[in-house]
Amino acid sequence: MPSERVETGVPGFDKLIEGGFIKGSTNLIAGNSGTGKTIFCMHYLWSGLQRGENGVYVTLEQRPDEILADVARFGWDFSKYEDAGRFRMESLVASDITTITTKIVESVKRIKAVRFALDSMTIASMGWKERPEESFKIRSKAFDMLNTLKSLGVTSMIISEVERAERPTISKFGFEEFVADSVVLLNYMMVGGASRNLQILKMRRTDHGKKIYPFDITDKGIVVKSLSV
């Protein structure tokens, strides 16, 4: 039986993943600074609102007013959906993972959200109270967070910051990409002029595109350029 899909609404992207993310899945959006990760997630939430699907965005770093101002240039006015109780943007302090998870659950349930985005798993881990030598506990709690999202039934996008390095790591703890249902890597290239592209490194139960796909940030948001899958 084909998996039920949740369209991202990002032009050119859904056709690469059989029409959208698998409903109820957790999807890792990885990339270094300037690749468009926040815009990608907000585009996903905005598209959901246009389809009558409530959404929650949790930010642990950037101020909500800054994010909303940044995406307003695409014509995305989230304020009316906030006023209608259909969208929530939560700004949380990166404290301990249990507190963050509890706040996420409360926000999702409060507005019966079906789409969710966290910005970011990397920033969240910086404030977790466990000592470095207790890394196994951190990994366990991060694993629990991702499984909690699945139990809520939301289709989630989790941002992961990638360091600029010759062999960059995709995730903070080295296991998120295995727990997540999909991994999308956003790249910002400076060779021959600035350009952005994405790779779908994995997506369960999906015959996804295997190539490197260029994309632009236009006045309407993100647009993935047309290529054969």
For residue 227, the model assigns a pLDDT of 72
CATH topology of domain 5-224: Rossmann fold (3.40.50)
For residue 146, the model assigns a pLDDT of 85
Are 224 and 16 within 8 A, CB to CB?
A: yes
Are 97 and 157 within 8 A, CB to CB?
A: no
Number of CB atoms found within 10 A of residue 205's CB:
12
End-to-end CA distance of the chain, in Å?
Answer: 23
List, for residues 102-155, the tens digit of each pLDDT value: 999 999 999 999 999 999 765 455 555 555 555 666 677 777 888 899 999 999
Q: Which H or E run contains 64?
A: helix 64-72
Q: How many CA atoms lie within 13 A of 185 on its CB side?
A: 18
CA angle 157, 162, 165 (to 5 degrees): 160
- One-character DSSP codes across 71-132: HHTTT---HHHHHTTSEEEEE-----HHHHHHHHHHHHHHHT-SEEEEE-HHHHHHT--S-G
Q: Which two tokens stand for residue 126?
A: 């910086």
Q: Which two tokens stand for residue 149?
A: 């999202």
For residue 167, the model assigns a pLDDT of 52
Task: Output the CA torsion sign for 161, 164, 170, 172.
Answer: negative
pTM: 0.90
Low-confidence ranges of the chain (pLDDT < 70): 1, 94, 121-138, 163-178, 190-193, 228-229
